Amino acid sequence: MIGSLLGGKLLDLVSRKNAFLLTDVLAIIATGLSQVTNIYVFIFSRLLSGAATGLNSTLVPSYIQETAPT
């Protein structure tokens, strides 16, 4: 929910390409942190993963709207 709410603000701050790159970097960091055996780091990585998923759920429809023919 947090990621989907921040998706519009991210698009206002950076370009669409950079928004996708930032979201992908966030997801890669979350994936790497999920390999740590500490439970608190794992919970934090799940939070980051959820934020990346929420951002993607906001960014992808706007990308499809611009690229798909009517």
| 37-59 pLDDT, tens digit each | 899 999 999 999 998 998 888 88
Does this model's pTM top 0.85? My answer is no
Q: Which domain holds residue 54?
A: 2-67
Say what the pLDDT of residue 31 is: 93
Query: How far is Cα 44 from Cα 40, in angstroms, rounded to an integer?
Result: 6
**Count of domains observed in the chain:** 1
Residue 32: phi and psi, rounded to 5, are: -65, -40
Whole-angstrom Cα distance, residue 13 to residue 59? 13
